[in-house]
Structure 1
Amino acid sequence: MSRPLPPIRPVGHVKSTGESLSPDEIRRLCDLLYRRTGMIFGESKRYYIERRVSDRMSATGMPTFPVYFSHVQASEDEVENLINIFTVNETYFYREEHQLQCLGRSLLPNIVQDKKPGDLVRIWSVPCSSGEEPYSIAIWLLENWPLVDAYHIEIVGSDIDTRVLQMAVTGRYGERALSRLPPDVVERYFERPHDGERRIIQDLRESMTFTSVNLVDKASIASQGRFDIVFCRNVLIYFDDTSRLLAATNLYDALNPGGYICLGHTESMSRISNRFRLCRFEDAIVYQRLDGGP
């Protein structure tokens, strides 16, 4: 909930890192984040914004917001750090398990009917956060899809947050992240516990590719090539209509003709773009790239 705006400070006031930002400072910061990520922030998230800005001001030793903001504008590294602390990374293994069931029971059988044994099947998890979702795809297929060894399956995890990508590469997870996995699956795919965490086995870590991607940057998406299936869950809810359409267009271009995209349960591609067909399968509703696209 937003709180009452503070009084306008005199020009030249020196701000401590715990002091409120002015409405204009909030606007300038949110404009930068929107241009760079497509994510919408504003006065309604003042507390969330101020806490994170305060953390970065302390980390960089910047005494006032104007000094810090000038630093952000001059430093791509600090833009990256700022974006990292504003991303939301709520995830765990086997999240929205019904979509994994749909992947094995409906989506992959449709995709491979036009492929030969040994052909490449590309699956993309974006955003992938700290890796639980792309690793879940790999584990689910190994456990449940009989044809998993008949095709060359490539799973790519991508995110705009470079910090969580490094966590994904490392592959260490606590009890909460693993809580939805059956105990025997944990034993097969994770090393012994160490300091309250378990690391995913080396074979799976080495089979996964992790990349940095911005959904509203066409060149960033194009650099990943095309995929047969995309999992893009619970990110479009943070965009406005313009950013959603841009992201949807980029995702459309990232799909092979006839490819599928899985969104979060509160998201609907039908309200964003007419370039996808809604498909109701036994386990889940997904969206298919319409034929005839470029």
Structure 2
Amino acid sequence: MTSAVRSAPARAQPAVTDADFQKFREFFYRKTGIHFDENKRYFVDKRLVDRMQATGATDFRQYFIGLRFESDGQELQHLVNTMTVNETYFLREAYQFDCMSNNLLDELVHTRPAGERLRIWSIPSSTGEEPYSIAMHLLERWPGIHRHDVEILSSDIDTQVLDAAQRGVYSARSVANVPRPWLEKYFRRVGDQEWAISRELVAAVEFSRVNLSDPADTRRFRDVDLIFCRNLLIYFDDVSRRSAAEAMYDALRPGGFVCLGHSESMSRISALYRVRRFADAMVYQKPLNGEAP
């Protein structure tokens, strides 16, 4: 005589209610400055459910209580990693790199004591394409690189993309805009469809985790000459944008520059900066001491 074996009922997938979404959205905004519109609801809900299942939470309330009261911040970092979007490629909006090499750096070296290091900060770093593009452009297009010491800093709130940046392995799509001589000089092929950037370039960039909305993270950045902060502020609301603009202002030396993404405008965010128009690009400058914006 045989007996039927009953399988355990499948565990129901946790749900995210409208109230849960609002509560989470406010919490995530306070922590990161990133604001999710209603049209991001499906994106947010799916990733929240993934994290609830990964942590074994049975519902949003249990997960959210654990998130708010955790002592080490590990789950918040997992959440940040899964909620941030990182899609970029080498030499994106390259006209700003042309402006850097043709105008900005030469102006900067003439407004400072001889021999002082230039500091360039790329935020967000994403998976490294931007800071490595900066490094290659300096080596290939700026003659002053042989006379001046340049430090490249790159930061992101997402620790997974920082790890990927330091691995430095990229798809064929990511390197599609890299000139062939640069590709052969600074990369080596890995398999059929991937390219690994030279370890010398990896060593030339100092990566760090930074939340641009957290003063504790940004106050250690000072005396920066040039900031690339492209396509980040579009994820912020007006309050967070102003806060980010002020953090970058504090990080810059007088006379330093900010490059934003093509759809972003500092003029609509903050009156602290001067608009500077060059042949290749429009950028934003922290006035020199004594100058009005």
Give TM-score scaled by structure 1 length. 0.91
The 1:43–1:201 alpha-carbon spacing in structure 2 relative to 1, beyond 3 Å, is: same
Amino acid at match of 1:97: A
Equivalence for 2:187: 190
Structure-to-structure mapping, 1:106-145, within 5 angstroms: 106-115=103-112, 118-145=115-142
Aligned residue in 2 for 1:33? 28
SS of match in other structure, 1:57? helix
Q: Residue 173 in 1 paired to residue 176 in 2?
A: no
Give the corresponding residue for 1:5.
none
Q: Using the TM superposition, name which of 69-78 and 229-238 deviates more.
A: 69-78
CA distance, structure 1, for counterparts of residue 37 and residue 45 of structure 2 = 11
Q: 1:205 aligns with which of 192, 195, 202?
A: 202
Q: Distance between the aligned counterparts of 2:201 and 2:169, measured in 1?
A: 12
**1:211-244 alpha-carbon deviations (Å, 9 max, x no partner):** 1111111221111232100000011111111111
CA distance in 1, matches of 2:241, 2:68: 25
Secondary structure of the structure 1 residue equivalent to 2:111: coil
Letter in 2 for 1:132: E
Q: Which residue of 2 aligns with 1:215?
A: 212
Matched residues in 2 for 1:225 and 1:117: separation? Answer: 19
Q: Report the 3-state secondary structure (helix = DSSP H, G, I; strand = E; otherwise coil) of the residue aligned with 1:244.
A: helix
Write the letter of the residue equivalent to 2:104: L
Alignment partners' CA distance in 1, 2:235 and 2:222: 25
Letter in 2 for 1:157: S
Select between 258-267 and 234-243 the one with higher mean Cα deviation.
234-243
Larger radius of gyration between Structure 1 and Structure 2: 2
Looking at structure 1, the residues matched to 83 and 115 of structure 2 have their Cα atoms a distance apart, in angstroms, of 41
Provide the C-alpha distance between the structure 2 equivalents of 1:201 and 1:117, rounded to a whole number of angstroms.
30
Instruction: Indicate the larger mover: 256-265 or 64-73.
Output: 64-73
Give the count of matched residue pairs.
280
Contact 2:211 2:217 in 1 (8 A): yes
- CA distance 1:18–1:95, shift in 2 (3 Å): farther
In structure 2, the CA distance between the partners of 1:117 and 1:143, relative to structure 1 (3 Å rule), is farther
Kept in 1: contact 2:15–2:49 (CA 8 A): no
| Distance in 2, Cα, partners of 1:147 & 1:72 | 49
Q: Deviations over 1:119-148 (max 9, x none)?
A: 300000011111100000000111111111
Per the TM alignment, residue 20 of structure 1 is displaced from its structure 2 partner at its CA by 4.0
8 Å Cα contact 2:14-2:60 kept in structure 1:
no
Cα distance, 1:58 vs structure 2: 2.2
Instruction: Give the corresponding residue for 1:92.
Output: 89
**What residue number does 1:290 align with?**
287
Separation of aligned partners in 2, 1:233 and 1:133: 10
How far apart, in 2, do the equivalents of 1:247 and 1:137 lie?
22
Of 29-38 and 111-120, deviating more is 111-120
* 8 Å contact kept, 1:27–1:42: no
Q: What SS does the aligned partner of 2:174 have?
A: helix
Equivalent-residue separation in structure 2 for 1:164 and 1:24 (angstroms) = 31
1:46 to 25, 41, 65: 41
| Farther off after superposition, 132-141 or 178-187 | 178-187
Q: Which aligned pairs between 1:258-273 and structure 2 lie closer than 5 A?
A: 258-273=255-270
Give RMSD over aligned pairs.
1.8
Distance 1:148 1:17 in 2: 59
Within 2, Cα distance between the matches of 1:68 and 1:149?
54
Point out where structure 1 has 5 or more consecutive residues left out of the alignment: 1-15
Cα displacement (A) at 1:117: 5.7
CA distance in structure 2 between the aligned counterparts of 1:115 and 1:63, rounded to whole angstroms: 59
Q: Percent identity?
A: 45
* CA distance in 2 between partners of 1:270 and 1:28 (Å): 32
* Alpha carbons 2:51, 2:79 under 8 Å: kept: yes
